[in-house]
Amino acid sequence: MKIENKTPIAEEIIRNNPTGHGLFAGIGDNFNSVAQVICELMDDAVSNLRANSGDPELSMRVVLSLENLGDAVEISVTDGGTGIADLSSALTIACRDGAQTPLNEHGFGLKHALASCDSSPEQMWSIRTRTKADAAANQYREVKAPYSMGTSELDKPMKVRFYSGTGDLPHPTGTSISVRCPMAKFRTVKPDRKAAPSDFHNLVRYIIEELRYVYAGILANTPITMEVWEISGGEETQHTLTPLLPVWEEGSVKDYGEIPCNLGGGPLTIRCKYGNILKNPSNAIYYKCNMESSGVELRINGRAIEHGMFDRVWGEAIHPSQNRFLVQVDLISDNPTALPATKNTKTSFCEADPRLKNLLSWIASYVPVPAKDVDSVELRCVRELTAKRENDPTALRVSREEPVFQKIGLKAKVDLFVGYIDRVTIYEAKAGKTKALDLYQLRMYVDGCALDNKPVDEAVLIAKRHSAEVKELRDILNTLTAPDGRPYNFRLATWDEEGIVIRQSA
Ligand SMILES: Nc1ncnc2c1ncn2[C@@H]1O[C@H](COP(=O)(O)OP(=O)(O)O)[C@@H](O)[C@H]1O
Ligand SMILES: [Mg+2]
Residue-range domain boundaries for the chain? 20-240, 247-366, 377-494
Residue 286 CA to ligand 2 center (angstroms) comes to 24
Residue 305 CA to ligand 2 center (angstroms) comes to 14
Q: Which atom of ligand 1 is nearest to the CA of 175?
A: 1
Is 377-494 assigned to CATH 3.40.1350.10?
yes
pLDDT at 506: 42
CA distance 274 to 260: 18
Residue of the nearest CA to atom 1 in ligand 1? 45
Residue of the nearest CA to atom 12 in ligand 1? 90
Biggest CA-to-CA distance, the chain = 99
Q: How far is CA 74 from the centre of its chain?
A: 25
Q: Which atom of ligand 1 is nearest to the CA of 174?
A: 3
Residue 99 CA to ligand 1 center (angstroms) comes to 7
Rg of the chain taking only CA atoms, in angstroms? 30
Asked whether the beta carbons of 9 and 142 are under 8 A apart, the reply is no
Residue 98 CA to ligand 1 center (angstroms) comes to 6
pTM here?
0.78
- Kindly identify the ligand whose nearest atom is closest to the C-alpha of 84: 1
- Kindly identify the ligand whose nearest atom is closest to the C-alpha of 82: 1
Asked whether the beta carbons of 219 and 225 are under 8 A apart, the reply is yes
- Kindly identify the ligand whose nearest atom is closest to the C-alpha of 110: 1
H runs (alpha helix) in 346-411:
354-366, 377-390
CA distance 241 to 502: 36
Length of the chain measured in residues: 506
pLDDT at 285: 93
Residues with Cβ within 8 Å of residue 6, at least 6 apart in sequence: none
Residues flanking ligand 1, CB < 6 Å:
44-45, 48, 79, 81, 84, 90, 96, 98-99, 104-111, 175
Residue 479 CA to ligand 1 center (angstroms) comes to 72
- Kindly identify the ligand whose nearest atom is closest to the C-alpha of 104: 1
Fold match between 20-240 and 377-494?
Answer: no
Asked whether the beta carbons of 294 and 324 are under 8 A apart, the reply is yes
Q: At what angle do helices 436-451 and 468-477 cross, to 10 degrees?
A: 30
pLDDT at 197: 84
- Which three-class secondary structure state does DSSP give residue 280? coil
Residue of the nearest CA to atom 9 in ligand 1? 44
CA distance 57 to 55: 5
For ligand 1, mutation pick of 23, 38, 44, 126 (most atoms within 8 Å of CB): 44
72 phi, psi to nearest 5 deg: -155, 170
Q: Which atom of ligand 1 is nearest to the CA of 103?
A: 21
pLDDT at 345: 94
Q: Which atom of ligand 1 is nearest to the CA of 43?
A: 21
Residue 40 CA to ligand 1 center (angstroms) comes to 9
Residue 334 CA to ligand 1 center (angstroms) comes to 16
Q: Could you list the beta-strand ranges (E) of 376-423.
A: 395-404, 412-420
CA distance 276 to 328: 11
207 phi, psi to nearest 5 deg: -65, -40
For 20-240, CATH number out of 3.90.230.10, 3.10.20.30, 3.30.565.10, 3.90.1150.10 equals 3.30.565.10
Residue of the nearest CA to atom 13 in ligand 1? 90
pLDDT at 466: 97
Angle at 108 between CA 104 and CA 109, to 5 degrees: 70
Residues with Cβ within 8 Å of residue 240, at least 6 apart in sequence: 225, 226, 227
CA distance 329 to 217: 11
Cβ-based neighbour number of residue 418 at 10 Å = 24
Closest CA to 111 of 151, 146, 157: 146
DSSP state of 54: T
Asked whether the beta carbons of 86 and 97 are under 8 A apart, the reply is yes
Beta-strand relationship, 59-68 and 72-80: antiparallel
pLDDT at 375: 56
- Kindly identify the ligand whose nearest atom is closest to the C-alpha of 112: 1
pLDDT at 504: 56
Residue 186 CA to ligand 1 center (angstroms) comes to 23
The reply to whether omega before 146 is within 30° of 0 (cis) is yes
Q: Specify the long-range contacts of residues 388-396, CB closer than 8 Å, at least 24 apart.
A: 388/498, 388/500, 389/416, 389/418, 392/420, 394/420, 394/421, 394/422, 395/419, 395/420, 396/420, 396/421
Cβ-based neighbour number of residue 92 at 10 Å = 15
Residue 44 CA to ligand 2 center (angstroms) comes to 5
Torsion-angle region of 427 (φ positive above 0: left; ψ -120 to 50: alpha; else: beta)? beta
Angle at 219 between CA 213 and CA 220, to 5 degrees: 100
Handedness of CA 327, 333, 338, 341 (dihedral sign): positive
* CATH class, 247-366 region: alpha beta
Residue of the nearest CA to atom 8 in ligand 1? 44
Cβ-based neighbour number of residue 230 at 10 Å = 21
pLDDT in 10s for each residue of the chain, 506 residues: 777 888 999 999 999 888 888 999 999 989 999 999 999 999 999 999 999 999 999 999 999 999 999 999 999 999 999 999 999 999 999 999 999 999 999 999 999 999 999 999 999 999 999 999 999 999 999 999 999 998 877 788 999 999 999 999 999 999 999 999 999 999 999 988 888 889 999 999 999 999 999 999 999 999 999 999 999 999 999 999 999 999 999 989 999 999 999 999 999 999 999 999 998 889 999 999 888 888 999 999 999 999 999 999 998 888 877 889 999 999 999 999 999 999 999 999 999 999 999 999 999 999 998 877 645 788 889 999 999 999 999 999 999 989 998 878 887 899 999 999 999 999 999 988 999 999 999 999 999 999 999 999 999 999 999 999 999 999 999 999 999 999 999 999 999 999 998 765 44
